[in-house]
């Protein structure tokens, strides 16, 4: 049924939580801040709020890059340069190509079975490109779509329109599947654009209170193989 699979990056294939943790502490050390776990949690809250505002088109990505640090420093009473913090953080984050354990085996299996894969990310272009290079995962994807390069972000229909126009799949929408962990970004965007969607709700940790109805819901990446009828263990070669 599906031949063309559009994967979100962070929280779906890439372990963004771990990448964010590492980049934050490296940034803090570079700026001379002896950061605590509590400060990491506060930064993550500021960062998430800014990304949600970006999804709603309330912030540009250029503003987001600085504002998350402005908000964090203000909440902590810190007198530090948010622009410098942003540049430093992004530099370290671009080096964190940390995949979930299931990601590479899944991608290998899907490519081996003839599926065509694409990446669709709301991330910052040079950060995402750096992480793809570091993880050596570009080879899996026929094309890569990043909001900063496209000029639109998920769930905006323009993001999805660019994807299908550039891939030449406008007439094959029923053969396309949007896969991601975010209801408000990946699933909302896919549904609004008339694509089938697969929500990765890791370990069933989140309750869907949005009214959105993804076509599929899975709790682990490996469940995709079962969904597509792909054996999870390869038979031994004769």
127 pLDDT higher than 50:
yes
Give residue-wise pLDDT tens across range 160-169: 999 999 999 9
Is position 123 within any domain? Answer: yes
The verdict on 86 and 55 lying in the same domain is: yes
Instruction: Name every residue whose Cβ is closer than 8 Å to that of residue 20 and which is 6 or more positions away in sequence.
Output: 44, 47, 93
Q: What is the mean pLDDT of residues 26-34?
A: 96
The kind and range of the H/E element at 120 are strand 116-121
Inside any domain, residue 232:
no
For residues 125 and 62, state if they share a domain.
Answer: no
The whole-number average pLDDT for the span 186-191 is 97
User: Is the separation of the CB atoms in 89 and 30 below 8 Å?
Assistant: no
pLDDT at 204: 86
Contacts of 168 (CB under 8 A, 6+ apart): none
Domain check: are 11 and 22 in the same one? Answer: no
Q: Which CATH number do you get for residue 20?
A: 1.10.150.240
Q: Is the domain of 120 the same as that of 188?
A: yes
The tokens for 12 are 């779906």
Q: What is the mean pLDDT of the chain?
A: 94
Same domain, 143 and 78: no
pLDDT tens for 194-237 read 999 999 999 888 889 899 999 999 999 999 999 998 887 643 43
pLDDT tens column, 63-100: 999 999 999 999 999 999 999 999 999 999 999 999 99
Q: Which domain holds residue 65?
A: 16-93
CB-neighbour burial class of residue 222 (10 A; exposed 0-12, middle 13-18, buried 19+): middle
Domain boundary among 42, 70, 93: 93
pLDDT confidence of 1, banded at 50, 70, 90? confident
pLDDT given for residue 235 in this prediction? 38
Q: What 3-state class would DSSP assign to 197?
A: strand
Residue 88 lies in a domain: yes
Same domain, 53 and 169: no
The token duo for 208 is 């869907």
Provide mean pLDDT across the span 2-12. 97
Please check whether residues 39 and 106 belong to one and the same domain. Answer: no
Q: Residues 119, 199: one domain?
A: yes
- 3-state helix, strand, coil split of the chain in percent (to 5) is 55, 15, 35
Q: Residue 208 in 3-state DSSP? A: coil
Asked if 224 contacts 198 with a C-beta cutoff of 8 angstroms, the reply is yes
CATH of the domain at 205: 3.40.50.1000
The average pLDDT across 53-72 equals 94
The alpha carbon of residue 59 and the mean position of all alpha carbons in its chain are separated, in whole angstroms, by: 18
Task: From 56, 78, 93, give the residue that closes a domain.
Answer: 93
Q: Which of the residues are catalytic?
A: 8, 10
How many structural domains are present in the chain? Answer: 2
| 198, β-bridge pairs | 179, 216
pLDDT at 233: 60
**Two tokens, residue 214:** 């993804």
Tell me if 187 is assigned to some domain: yes
Check whether residue 137 and residue 105 sit in a common domain. Answer: yes
Other Cβ atoms within 10 Å of 30 Cβ, number: 14
Give the domain-ending residue among 70, 93, 116. Answer: 93
Percent of the chain residues past pLDDT 90, beyond the cut:
90
User: Helices H, strands E: what count in the chain?
Assistant: 10, 6
């Amino acid at each position: 049924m599906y031949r063309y699979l559009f994967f979100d990056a962070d929280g779906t294939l890439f372990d963004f939580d771990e990448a964010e943790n590492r980049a934050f502490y490296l940034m803090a050390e570079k700026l001379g801040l002896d950061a605590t776990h509590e400060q990491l949690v506060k930064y993550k809250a500021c960062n998430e709020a800014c990304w949600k505002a970006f999804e709603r088109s309330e912030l540009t990505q250029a503003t987001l890059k600085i504002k998350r640090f402005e908000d964090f420093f203000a909440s902590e009473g810190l007198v530090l340069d948010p622009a410098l913090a942003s540049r430093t953080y992004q530099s370290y984050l671009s080096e964190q190509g940390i995949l979930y354990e299931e990601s590479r085996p899944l991608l290998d299996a899907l490519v081996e079975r003839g599926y065509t894969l694409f990446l669709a990310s709301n991330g910052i272009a040079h950060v995402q490109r750096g992480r793809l290079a570091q993880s050596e995962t570009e080879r899996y994807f026929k094309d890569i779509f990043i909001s900063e390069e496209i000029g639109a972000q998920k769930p905006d229909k323009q993001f999805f329109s660019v994807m299908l126009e550039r891939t030449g799949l406008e007439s094959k929408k029923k053969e396309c599947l949007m896969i991601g962990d975010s209801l408000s970004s990946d699933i909302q965007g896919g549904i609004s654009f008339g694509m089938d969607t697969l929500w990765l709700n890791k370990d069933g940790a989140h309750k869907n209170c949005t009214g959105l109805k993804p076509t599929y819901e899975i709790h682990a990446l490996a469940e995709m193989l079962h969904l597509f009828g792909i054996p999870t263990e390869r038979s031994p070669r004769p």
